[in-house]
């Protein structure tokens, strides 16, 4: 059996806040499917433009995103982007690893971040358990605001990830994917 992706593991978690959010969207008369499609399209566009800039030095089309990108990464050295990592429990692909002033950062790009959720912390910890760095965080797009994820005790988080990996494996063994 292959190791599950971090996304597959996080999908096993109960997310009660999503029910409240979906209800709020519905009460506004907005189709959840349409809202998700529009949000995903915009978020993917931001992510794709930033990735093309990092990998191919293709200038970012969106003027606000472009200005914020250059302001944010001024003085940083980009070490890796979209790198696949794997351990015995999970695999995944992180968005970016960069350095400044001798410190390394591993970050995930998210659109219009307002809060750092458990899922965000688990995702970043999963990657940083494989790829050693000094700091982990989220970079909100299009504003390029950095949200540090500070974890004093990683043990419960890695415990959750390993337990989710075990649940995923057991579900596969009984035919529930």
Q: What is the CATH number of the domain that holds 45?
A: 3.40.1350.10
- pTM (two decimals): 0.88
Q: Is residue 53 in some structural domain?
A: yes
Considering the chain, what is the average pLDDT of its residues? 92
Each residue of 29-55: pLDDT tens digit? 888 788 777 777 777 889 999 999 999
Q: Is residue 5 part of a domain?
A: no
Number of domains observed in the structure of the chain: 1
Q: Is residue 7 part of a domain?
A: no
Name the more confident of 11 and 18. 11
> Does the residue 95 lie in any domain?
yes
Q: Which two tokens stand for residue 121?
A: 């912390």
Q: Mention every residue, 6+ apart, whose C-beta is less than 8 A from residue 111.
A: 39, 42, 43, 46, 47, 140, 141, 142
Q: 163 falls in which pLDDT band (50, 70, 90)?
A: very high
Q: Do β-strands 103-111 and 135-141 pair in parallel, antiparallel, or remain unpaired?
A: parallel
In a domain, 129, yes or no: yes
- Domain-located, residue 2: no
Pick 148 or 18 by higher pLDDT.
148
Residue 119 near residue 10, CB atoms below 8 Å = yes
Residue with tokens 């089309």: 61
Least confident span in 29-33, 105-109, 120-124, 158-162: 29-33
113 is a domain residue? yes
Domain-embedded: residue 82: yes
Q: Write out the residue range of the structural domain in which residue 143 sits.
A: 15-170
């Amino acid at each position: 059996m292959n190791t599950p992706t971090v996304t597959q593991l996080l999908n096993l978690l109960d997310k009660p806040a999503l029910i409240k959010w979906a209800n709020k969207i519905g009460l506004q008369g907005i189709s959840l499917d349409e809202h998700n499609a529009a949000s995903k399209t915009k978020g993917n566009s931001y992510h794709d433009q930033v990735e093309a800039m990092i990998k191919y030095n293709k200038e970012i089309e969106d003027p606000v995103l472009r200005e914020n990108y250059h302001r944010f990464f001024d003085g940083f050295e980009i070490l890796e982007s979209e790198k696949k990592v794997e351990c015995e429990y999970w695999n995944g692909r992180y968005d970016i690893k960069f350095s400044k002033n001798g410190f390394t950062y591993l970050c995930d790009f998210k659109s219009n971040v307002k809060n750092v959720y458990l899922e965000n912390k688990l995702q970043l910890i999963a990657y940083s358990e494989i790829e050693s760095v000094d700091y982990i965080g989220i970079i909100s797009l299009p504003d390029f605001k950095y949200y540090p994820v500070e974890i004093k005790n990683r043990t419960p988080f890695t415990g959750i990830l390993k337990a989710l990996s075990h649940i995923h494996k057991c579900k596969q063994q009984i035919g529930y994917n």
